[in-house]
């Protein structure tokens, strides 16, 4: 006789209201926790490939619950009523209280039209223990890329094509972010709806399967390279991008800092502290804040912003290859006038910033006729971006 499973609806009916209430009071604390987790693991998360396992510790989990003001045991006791709790069930991670709490946070952000925060919560979920650490161990335990870095470097630079997000996005974070954006876009309406616990379990499985495929596809090439003794020869391989002629280490640093800067800009409010540092007598700090907020609220502009940040960093590194980005030298070089008007990368940076000013500042369009004022606007915006890059890059020094 076939046993019919009676699905429950405990997660959205009983756990979600707890998370919803917690986030209505502690949204900033929860997102601060996520930012701290990314920052504390920045070297691995913003690396150009999956070189090492990123551990999600018991302390990380405790801090996550504390940021929300939720007791993990309360969630666990409710979960005991979910139909799959005492039976073999895939995914196993759906039996973890923190996984369901983060999933409910994603739902909260979607229901409140905060798609970017939903994406950030899903990225965070993908870097927790039952996701990235578990999957990385599954695929790379035998020959960890952290031990055979030159092999993974060869894979990234010579075997990955544009169909791999990690190749086009330039970092592990960028690839996971792309994966999560697609998942959120695909399932947003379902997550906002009234799924039962089986639907939720399968939806969690879908995002984990996407991450699993991402790592498996890279691992297949990695083991192919390992078996064939392919590795990157740092003395002869040309890794130049856009003719910047950067060394391997400089290119890696530029990619990591670019992604870390984008993460900071898109997951934090515009900093009044930095606006106060960037303003001058012609452009007030509040006006800089308004322009940056307009820029960052336009999702279509974000790839262009990422490109400009990368150009700023790479321009500095090609001129100061032995100097770290998180130094005063970086600020001094970036904000000073560049005499070489024919340098196409300098021209692109200037063109992008001027286009942003024309698009996102009504005052600029009125006041730009006065050359001194137009120059002030340009300097203030590049100063804000430069100071953010500098602040983020200090964590890599």
pLDDT single digits (tens) 163-191: 888 888 878 998 999 999 999 999 999 99
Closest CA to 51 of 140, 138, 122: 140
Count how many residues are written for the chain: 397
Rounded to 10 deg, the angle between the 16-40 and 115-126 helix axes is 70
Longest dimension (CA), the chain: 85
Residues 343-370 pLDDT 10s? 888 889 999 999 999 999 999 999 998 9
Name the pTM for this structure.
Answer: 0.68
Our CA dihedral for 232, 236, 240, 246, rounded to 10 degrees, sits at 100
In the chain, pLDDT over 90 holds for what percent of residues?
58
CB 203 within 8 A of CB 191: yes
Q: Is the pLDDT of residue 238 over 80?
A: no
State both tokens at 228.
């064939």
pLDDT at residue 103, as a whole number: 98
Query: Which residues lie below 8 Å from residue 84, measured CB to CB, with a gap of 6+?
Result: 94, 95, 197, 198, 201
Domain extent listing, the chain: 10-227, 248-396
pLDDT at residue 5, as a whole number: 60
What would you report as the CA-atom Rg of the chain, rounded to the nearest whole angstrom? 23
């Amino acid at each position: 006789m076939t046993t019919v499973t009676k699905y429950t609806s405990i997660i959205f009916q009983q756990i979600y209201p707890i998370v919803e209430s917690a986030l209505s009071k502690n949204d900033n604390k929860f997102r601060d926790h996520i930012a701290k987790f990314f920052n504390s693991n920045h070297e691995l998360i913003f690396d150009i490939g999956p070189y090492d396992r990123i551990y999600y510790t018991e302390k990380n989990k405790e801090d996550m619950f504390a940021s929300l003001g939720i007791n993990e045991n309360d969630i666990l006791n409710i979960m005991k009523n979910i139909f799959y709790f005492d039976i073999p069930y895939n995914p196993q991670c759906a039996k973890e209280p923190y996984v369901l709490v983060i999933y409910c946070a994603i739902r909260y952000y979607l229901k409140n039209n905060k798609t970017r925060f939903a994406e950030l919560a899903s990225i965070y979920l993908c870097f927790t223990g039952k996701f990235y650490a578990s999957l990385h161990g599954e695929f790379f335990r035998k020959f960890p890329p952290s031990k055979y870095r030159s092999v993974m470097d060869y894979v990234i630079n010579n075997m990955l094509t544009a169909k791999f997000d990690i190749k086009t996005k330039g970092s592990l974070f960028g690839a996971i972010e792309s994966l999560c954006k697609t998942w959120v876009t695909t399932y947003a309406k379902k997550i906002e709806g009234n799924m039962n616990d089986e639907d939720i379990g399968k939806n969690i499985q879908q995002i984990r399967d996407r991450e699993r495929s991402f790592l498996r596809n890279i691992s297949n090439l990695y083991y192919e390279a390992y078996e064939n003794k392919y590795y990157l020869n740092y003395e002869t391989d040309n890794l130049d991008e856009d003719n910047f002629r950067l060394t391997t280490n400089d290119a890696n640093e530029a990619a990591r800092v670019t992604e870390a800067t984008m993460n900071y800009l898109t997951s934090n409010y515009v900093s009044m502290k930095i606006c106060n540092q960037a303003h001058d007598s012609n452009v007030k700090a509040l006006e800089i804040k308004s322009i940056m907020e307009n820029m960052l609220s336009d999702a279509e502009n974000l790839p262009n912003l990422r490109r400009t940040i990368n150009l700023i960093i790479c321009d500095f590194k090609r001129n100061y290859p032995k100097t770290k980005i998180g130094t005063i030298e970086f600020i001094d070089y970036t904000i000073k006038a560049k005499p070489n008007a024919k340098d196409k990368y300098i021209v692109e940076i200037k063109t992008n910033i001027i286009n942003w000013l024309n698009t996102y500042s009504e005052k600029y369009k009125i006041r730009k006729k006065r050359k001194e004022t137009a120059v002030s606007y340009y300097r203030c915006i590049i100063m804000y971006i430069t100071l953010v890059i500098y602040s983020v890059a200090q964590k890599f020094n």
